[in-house]
Structure 1
Amino acid sequence: MPIDTGLRRLALRTLLAAFDGPAAPPWALRLLDDGLAGHTLFGSNVAEPAQVARLTAELRAARADTLIAIDEEGGDVTRLAHRTGSPYPGNAALGAVDDVDLTRTVHAAIGADLVEAGVNLNLAPTVDVNTADDNPIIGTRSFGADPALVARHVAAAVDGLQSTGVAACAKHFPGHGATVADSHVGLPTVHAPLATLRVRDLPPFAAAVTAGTKAIMTAHIRVPALTGADPATFSRATLTGLLRRECGFGGAIVTDALEMRGAADTAGGIGPAAVHALAAGADLLCLGARVDRTLVESVAAEIAAATRDGRLPLARVEDAAERTAALAASAPPAAGPVGSGTRDPARLGYPAARRAVRVEGSLHDITDPLVVRLTSDPSIAEGRVPWGLRPHLNGTEQLDVGGAADPTPDSILVRAGTRPIVVVGRHLHRSPRARALVGALAATHPVVVVEMGWPSAWRPAGVRAFLTTHGASRANGYAAAEALGLAV
């Protein structure tokens, strides 16, 4: 049966699509004219500031009230600075500093960058309380493990970001911080009673609501006590009951990417996932990064069919479209003047990251070391963004280690000679190979460890010092190099 044009347009008004490349393909523009809510920008869409501003202007020319979204969290998750690393420290570093004025200032700077780029919806901040040390997807994206600390910084982040006119989207409801699995690749389960969620995970969302966040993103996680067998994204008890009625949130409920396996595999595809999410109370459906016209049309057809056959009440889809339109109406209409693309990191990002550095032990006499960076695979949320000390080193040699044919500890010691060794890594405690390497080097040589991931209790025996940055952004890398006396 051909899709009803009115239902198709209504369905499109609930969808946030995407496309590949630095310019919008014709189909992406035509769909905006047909009613599509908007597009999300990813790293592949970003080359340099003037190009991004041209791209967003092109999207707005197709329809003025287009939503243009991005994941610009600062810290380890950046799209605008995906080629160099973010000039700002991320949430874990800001939480470690615990200065809400600084958090507000950093997020206002991120918002100013987005206004300059022509982006009006930031899929940030991450407001999850990271209570699982080995959480593979949240980690340094979180302000911390204490609900009260996270809540006060969430309020500051939302206030700072939205002071620029960019809409904030607090994520991931009802809290992704206690998971030890990644919802990009499966459906994590949190075995906790609702009473635990109320004291551990929900306070930051309450703070975001009080601060006036314009959107909240759902999590593809299962909490049996709340969601039953479904992910929160498909749970009416979670979205309509807990978030709308109990938490009093009146803005737009946005889904995490429906292409993620925690959603798509559970529902039997992205189209059915969209129907389940709308029925539960979601308003704006992120399809993901791998999107083309065929996918968008198939999802719109699935929503229209569900509306016709009664699986999805027409009033629910109309309500979702109205909330999405209200979100777009509240956002800046156009890009600001194009400048550097980011604020001067020497004035804000680097000093902020410096305040988050923690040093245990002595950095005395770490002169002309060999820097050994232990490479690691990024999370899907982070992507392949440069990290480490290399851009900031004053001629110091760096050796990258992380493959099957990597040098042995003995060969690294020979290469170092009489120089001390600085080992740099992320989540080093999770890797038996990394722990063994550090132990072997420190047994006979002066070694300093720089941890740029989520802090852990692991402290290797025999090291001269242990330095924690609380993140791996470009700003964090500079702060570490500066603390070691190696910065340019």
Structure 2
Amino acid sequence: MSGDLYRLAMTVLHPGYEGTSAPEWLRRALGEGLGGVVLFARNAIDARLVREFRAENPDVVVAIDEEGGTVTRLEVVEGSSFPGNRALGVADDVALTERVGRQIGRMLGELDITLNYAPDADVNSNPANPVIGVRSFGPTADLVARHTAAYVNGVQGAGVAACAKHFPGHGDTVTDSHLALPTVHAPREVLAERDLPPFKAAIDAGVRSIMSGHLLIPALDPSVPATLSRAVLTELLRGELGFDGMLVTDAIEMQAVADMFAPGEIAVRALNAGVDAICMGVSTEEIVYEIRDAVVAAVRSGALPEERLEQAASRVRALSGWYAAQSELRDKARLDVDPAVGLEAARAALSTAGSAVLDRAPLVVEVNTRLNKAVDPATPTGITAALISLLPETAIVRMDPSGELPRFDERPIVLVVHDAARHPWVRETVAKALAARPDVIVVDTGIPAPPGGPTHVATHGISRVSAQAAAEWLTR
């Protein structure tokens, strides 16, 4: 039994790793039954890399966060070919959302990636939310539910598993769970009407995976975060909502849970709560084997029932088996190339006010709001690059939150901001710029404040195509 138990424990572990090639310890772990690998931009992702994983374990669940928009791992250098959720929600065309999801699924299928940690099914009901924002389809349950189902249908229609996150809803928070434990104070009735419908829609659409959020929700369980709560994950998600697919944690090194327990204890508690896969965004050989040994020890001591571990491992294998059975869908999706859909969606999402047209190269001032930790730090807004492609003499100045606006000259000024609705200092910067130059053009790549100047463009997200759509409109 001992060898089988170690293999079961390895099956439920899904780590990320540093570096551009698979380290030796990861290869060895895959051969010992490691159930999953999580990919990030830092890993230099290509089909060859995935083949190396599958050579060690053909059934490995290869996962990635490829939401589109601000969260991309495959297109981080130039920006995503697809606008993110908020832009899709603003366009509010579920057929368009499904087409985008299908193309993202097609892109992942070509790399033999099993699982996309998307869509974000959170209802961004709190405008001050620091980590969801434009990653959500919008602020209302009905809108988010419709587009969550469409996105799931698109990705899974291309033969790649989708994952709705962050159950039971990260939208009504003012804390980033990467940094601390958020609390959702809403009563159960509000949660049922506002936060749960998108997850129910995903389940009804056949979503293969759901990711738990590191959230304290006293109305559901006042004692522990949702990731560690049997009341939230087994009684609510499994029992009431009827989900029987693979349930994966958000990354367990996030401070929301890492400040509470050691990695091995987090894993054991999560498995007892009903989780099937333990996601580690940043991991090492020592941490992976430490967690494996903690899970094995918990089974041997009776703290974790062996049948619960077996059930979790079987759900990981079931997702892998589902993916293997979708090869025909992936073959069809490879032929269904829809190269214009990203730009089409970005144009549909563009909100504009005013009539200014750039007829000569501007000075672009990028006001650098610090993005949250879910966003790769190399992700560009893309606005300047898009304008340079149309007006080659375009110049750029980058301004940090503590910085000052540059001295304006006679050139047109384009002020690029992010989430002005959430940041008073950004709104103050816009006001100062308009006081100095009333003809400043403001482009907001996040959740915008009401237009404060004569010309305002809102892309509702960061992506290469969103930037292109904005640049086209400004130079029309």
**TM-score computed with the length of structure 1 as normaliser:** 0.91
Which has the higher mean CA deviation after the structures are superposed, 15-24 or 393-402?
393-402
| Counterpart selection for 1:287 from 280, 285, 292 | 280
- Contact 2:127–2:421, Cα closer than 8 Å, also in 1: no
Identical aligned residues as a percent: 45
| Counterpart selection for 2:31 from 30, 33, 37 | 33
Give distance in 2, aligned partners of 1:57 and 1:251.
25
User: Which amino acid in structure 1 is aligned with residue 80 of structure 2?
Assistant: S
Question: Paired residue for 1:402?
Answer: 399
Aligned residues: 467
Mapping of 1:37-436 within 5 angstroms? 37-46=35-44, 52-266=46-260, 268-288=261-281, 290-332=282-324, 347-364=340-357, 367-384=360-377, 385-393=379-387, 394=390, 395-403=392-400, 406=403, 408-409=404-405, 411-413=406-408, 416-417=409-410, 419-436=411-428
- Contact 2:369–2:401, Cα closer than 8 Å, also in 1: no
Deviations 1:436-471 (A, max 9, x none): 332222124211111101234x443xx111211110
Q: Secondary structure at the match of 1:28?
A: helix
Give distance in 2, aligned partners of 1:192 and 1:296.
36
Give distance in 2, aligned partners of 1:32 and 1:277.
22
Give distance in 1, aligned partners of 2:289 and 2:65.
24
Residue 469 of structure 2 is aligned to residue 479 of structure 1: yes
Give distance in 2, aligned partners of 1:400 and 1:227.
48
- Contact 2:418–2:448, Cα closer than 8 Å, also in 1: no
Unaligned runs of at least 5 residues, structure 2: none
Q: How big is the alpha-carbon RMSD for the aligned residues of Structure 1 and Structure 2? A: 2.2
- Contact 1:373–1:398, Cα closer than 8 Å, also in 2: no
Give distance in 2, aligned partners of 1:95 and 1:208.
16
Question: Paired residue for 2:430?
Answer: 438
Give distance in 2, aligned partners of 1:430 and 1:203.
26
The Cα of 1:10 is off from its aligned counterpart by: 1.2
The Cα of 1:142 is off from its aligned counterpart by: 0.5
Give distance in 2, aligned partners of 1:453 and 1:478.
15
The 3 A distance-change label for structure 1 pair 193 and 349 is same
User: Which amino acid in structure 2 is aligned with residue 122 of structure 1?
Assistant: N
The Cα of 1:5 is off from its aligned counterpart by: 2.8
Q: Secondary structure at the match of 1:330?
A: helix
Give distance in 1, aligned partners of 2:24 and 2:321.
24
Unaligned runs of at least 5 residues, structure 1: none
Q: Secondary structure at the match of 1:380?
A: coil
Which has the higher mean CA deviation after the structures are superposed, 392-401 or 275-284?
392-401
User: Which amino acid in structure 1 is aligned with residue 427 of structure 2?
Assistant: R
Give distance in 1, aligned partners of 2:28 and 2:357.
62
Give distance in 1, aligned partners of 2:193 and 2:401.
45
Give distance in 1, aligned partners of 2:400 and 2:434.
21
Give distance in 1, aligned partners of 2:432 and 2:362.
17
Q: Secondary structure at the match of 1:57?
A: helix
User: Which amino acid in structure 2 is aligned with residue 435 of structure 1?
Assistant: R
Q: Secondary structure at the match of 1:283?
A: coil
Deviations 1:71-96 (A, max 9, x none): 00011100011111101011100000
- Contact 1:18–1:39, Cα closer than 8 Å, also in 2: yes
The 3 A distance-change label for structure 1 pair 322 and 465 is same
The Cα of 1:396 is off from its aligned counterpart by: 4.3
Give distance in 1, aligned partners of 2:95 and 2:393.
35
- Contact 2:381–2:445, Cα closer than 8 Å, also in 1: no
User: Which amino acid in structure 2 is aligned with residue 97 of structure 1?
Assistant: A
Give distance in 2, aligned partners of 1:292 and 1:219.
23
